[in-house]
């Protein structure tokens, strides 16, 4: 499967960021993030996940969660292949991308090639409870009708308080806000695995969490952060912000916190490689 990928280059890159988008969207919604980082010396590599954006695959569907990890493995390999061993490479994931980034580092561990992990409103716990009977029904359907679309989609008004972002979200032809039964089951199992293997996250980690998140449980993410074994970790809560913190009216404040952390980690990494 030939996945769509893109590289936003800085003039003189001091580090590289590999970016993973969220559910039902695509890499193009992070152009402004890449531009901000390019102007401050960071290359940004990204792409569209299987079944998303310009990549092939059934929209809103994945056969195995590992297919997402394979995509990230490709992007990470491209980033590492173009730079030297001393060049820092960071992994950033938003929402579903945050869960994928988490599982990627857990699964590949020391072979991940990740010098630092950034999670943006990561999908580690949903902000709505699902009854046991509903879960049994969905997992039952997964055996018989895995590609059936669930009767729920992400409404634009919960992703951002910015009206222009909401309007663009509705009109974007590459967005697809519905998911399949199989996708949901794979997501649920991946979330459980992320919690079970949280003791494997030792890389420097920054978690940026929306305070008024209608999709992800902020308290759950906060607890996940507190239980990570990483000696170098930060959890930053943005009170009042909706799920897509990089698309909120306060986005420049969020980007500044990201840039501050990246600068600190890059300096540490480069200083360590020359000592």
What are the residue numbers of the active site? 95, 213, 243
C-alpha separations of 21 from 102, 199, 271 in Å? 13, 25, 31
- Distances in Å between the Cα of 43 and the Cα atoms of 90, 118, 197, 206 are 10, 15, 30, 19
Q: Which run of H or of E encompasses 238?
A: strand 233-238
Bridge partners of residue 219, in order along the sequence: none
d(CA 214, CA 218): 9
Among residues 187, 36, 26, 208, which one has the least CA distance to residue 116? 208
- Biggest CA–CA distance in the chain, Å, is 58
Neighbour-count burial of 76, counting CB atoms closer than 10 A to its CB (0-12 exposed, 13-18 middle, 19+ buried): buried
């Amino acid at each position: 499967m030939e996945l769509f990928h893109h590289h936003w280059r800085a003039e003189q890159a001091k580090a590289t960021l590999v970016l993973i988008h969220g559910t039902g969207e695509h890499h193009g919604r992070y152009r402004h993030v890449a531009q901000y980082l390019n102007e401050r010396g960071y290359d940004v590599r990204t792409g569209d996940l299987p079944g998303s954006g310009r990549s092939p695959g059934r929209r809103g569907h994945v056969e195995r969660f590992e297919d997402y990890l394979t995509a990230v493995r490709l992007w990470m390999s491209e980033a590492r292949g173009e730079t030297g061993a001393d060049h820092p490479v960071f992994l950033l994931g938003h929402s579903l991308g945050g869960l994928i980034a988490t599982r990627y580092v857990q699964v590949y561990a020391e072979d991940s090639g990740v010098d630092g992990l950034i999670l943006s409103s990561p999908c580690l716990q949903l902000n709505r409870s699902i009854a046991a009977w509903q879960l049994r029904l969905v997992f039952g359907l997964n055996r018989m009708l895995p590609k059936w679309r669930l009767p729920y989609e992400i409404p634009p008004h919960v992703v951002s308080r910015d009206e222009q972002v909401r309007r663009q979200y509705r009109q974007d032809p590459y967005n697809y806000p519905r998911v399949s039964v199989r996708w949901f089951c794979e997501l649920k199992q991946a979330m459980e695995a992320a919690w079970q293997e949280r003791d494997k996250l030792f890389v420097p980690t920054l978690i940026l969490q929306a305070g008024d998140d209608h999709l992800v449980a902020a308290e759950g993410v906060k607890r996940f952060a507190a239980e990570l074994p990483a000696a170098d970790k930060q959890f930053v809560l943005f009170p009042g912000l909706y799920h897509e913190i990089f698309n909120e009216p306060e986005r420049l404040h969020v980007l500044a916190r990201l840039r501050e952390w990246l600068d600190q980690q890059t300096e540490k990494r480069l200083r360590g490689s020359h000592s």
